[in-house]
Every structure is written in structure tokens, then in C-alpha cells.
Structure 1
């Protein structure tokens, strides 16, 4: 007996014992999964689905998660000088071994349905199994803090990082030494920006006003 099943947008003709590569499934090696989209059952009494065969399924064991052969995509634009792009891609696949072919009773087998790792269904299952994280409370503004966004190149995100580093006033920045600047460059991962933007001079002027 053979079956024609559908998974990952492709159709496969399979028999018990076949080993094949399919689009990546959300399953670990050693797990048994069940393909429920069966288009046809072949053998002595063939059955055609309309479009699927009711109650039929193909069960398979996941052997491993693998990658396909590397595909090179080269693009060159004729009328643009030196405009070209080379990009490689290796498709993520799942290696499976076909086991039992069920002609009926697939909904009562109790075997996990084969779900594509990148499908909406897979995302929904993962979201349902993962507990929701509690909402992170916004850090309250420090009392007496200056509006550090007045400094050149400082936006809300950078101001938040400065607050988290304990810097809340222009007076603090105005008093920075070379060692303080080097330490803050390292902490906030923007080496040389403090000197480039002239924060210390701006902070001295803002603090004076």
C-alpha cells in the first residue's frame, strides 16, 4: 500500500519504510508524528480524497533535523555599474522514516500531528505552551532629574540608558573626567560619541542656566 500525503506545500508518494526529507517540522529526533493531509490511498482498492481522504493518515518517526544543499543566488543588474549580489541559502529540513499508513481512525490514534516549524499553527502552539511574561513596569523618573534629551544626539532610548547608569543631571555630565568619559563610552557602547557631540560643554552651559 502507498499513500500520497501533503506537507510543507508539497506532495509525497510514500510507503512504509521510506526515508524522505520534508519541510522542517516542529518535532525532535525520535518523536513520532502523524500527517493527516492524505490525498490518496493506493493499493488493491485505491481511494481518492475530495480533496482529503477522511480518517486516513501517515505516521512517521523523526530521524533528525537537517539542512539541504546550499543554493547560490547571484543577481547582477545590467545598467548599474558594479551592482551585483551573491547570497547563499540552505533550507531547513526534517529527515523522517515512514511507519504505518492508516486507512481510518486517524483522529483516535493519539499521535502528535506533524506541524511545520514556520507555520502559523506552530507559532500558535508555541505561544499557547509558553506562559506570558508579566508586563515590565516603566522605571519612574528620578526626582530632580534634568531633561537629558537636550544634549546633542540624545533621544528617549539613550536618556533611559543614562538614567540606568545613574546619570540624571547636567551637573554630573559637566563634572566628568577623561576616566569617567572612557568608562561611560564602554558602558553605553558608543565609543567617542561623548567627545564628538560635545556633551560636557553642553552640560556645563545647561547646568549654568
Structure 2
């Protein structure tokens, strides 16, 4: 879980405000383990848990406000190596989401963008699992090499929930590598997003995040050949 630290020019907003949980390192942290063989190729699969740092902002009383030190954890599984032309699966698993109710009464329009890039073709994808989601509907949208997990469901602040995993079937090309990473590229094309009702004011404002292009984050790398 994570903490938002908000700073504005107004004196009333100079103090740090915790919005979404506990603090986490501002730099990407990765833990990699090697698991069982893959289903299609017999290749050893690698699972990486990565802490992703974001460039973040929200709007408070009509003023865009930067958020410092916001991070989220993702666990991604993919083969370490595959043969040219092999089909294989990648699993994206987001850490559970908890929005502190003192600042987030209700959340909606949730988006998480993942990316599969390199010499590969995305064949199909599906959603699996999830918990404490009520009747929320989830779907996936293609955006170039990005796959964006979305929901228009309503989620209450102070109630932890876990979104479904995204499982992607990929066909390797002839050579090179296939990498996975956070998607998105800007506030207009976010990597992580929700629209929130603020608890005190009742105003609805976006929470927007993307990864600094100068410090890209990679989840997994699959070598072809």
C-alpha cells in the first residue's frame, strides 16, 4: 500500500496528506523468483514483483496538485526464454487497492495499463480472479501495445479490493526479446487512474499516474531463441 504526499501553493495545503495507505520507496524495486516450467514450451517461468514509482497528480478545489512518492506493486509472470514462434502466457497481477476513507469516499473509472513489447504478437487475453469486487464489471481495451484493464464499478474508500489478473497469450517472433512493463505515457494516457469523490468536499476529481519516461520500469524480459 501507499501514501500520497500533497503539496500546493496555498498555506492550508502545505502539510503532508495521507490519501492511500503506507509509504513505499520512490524507486522501482524488483524481486525475481524462478518457478515451474511453462505450459506451451516447457520454458522456465520467471515471476517478478516490482514496485513502480509514478509521476502523480490530483485536483483539489479546482487546482492540479502534484503527489510525491506514490508507488504500486505488481507481480508479473512470464517465461525466461522461448523458441521462435512459440506461444506463451504472461500474467499481470496488481497488488490490492486500498483508498483511505478520510480522503476518498468513492472511486470509479478505474484503469491499469500494462504493456507487452518487442518481437511478439498479442493473440488473446482474459481476466482471472479478483476479490471483494461486488458486482463491478471489468474489461480490457487495446491501445497499441498496451492492454488497459478498466472498470466502471463503484468502490468504497476504506474497503480493500483486488482487481482481476490479466492473462495474455503471446506469440514470439523470430529473435530478440519480449518485455512487459507498465503502460501509459502521460496524464492524458495514464498507467494507473481512478476518479474519486472526496470525502469532505464531495467534489469529484481524477487521480492520474504515469511512469517517468526518463526512468522506465520493466517487469519481465523473455529471450527468444
Assess same fold via TM > 0.5: no
TM-score normalised by structure 1 residue count: 0.21
Q: Which has the higher helix share?
A: 1
TM-score (norm 2): 0.20
Which has the higher relative contact order, 1 or 2, with Cα contacts under 8 A spaced 6 or more apart? 2
- From the two aligned structures, give the one with the greater strand fraction: 2
Give 1 or 2 for the bigger CA radius of gyration: 1
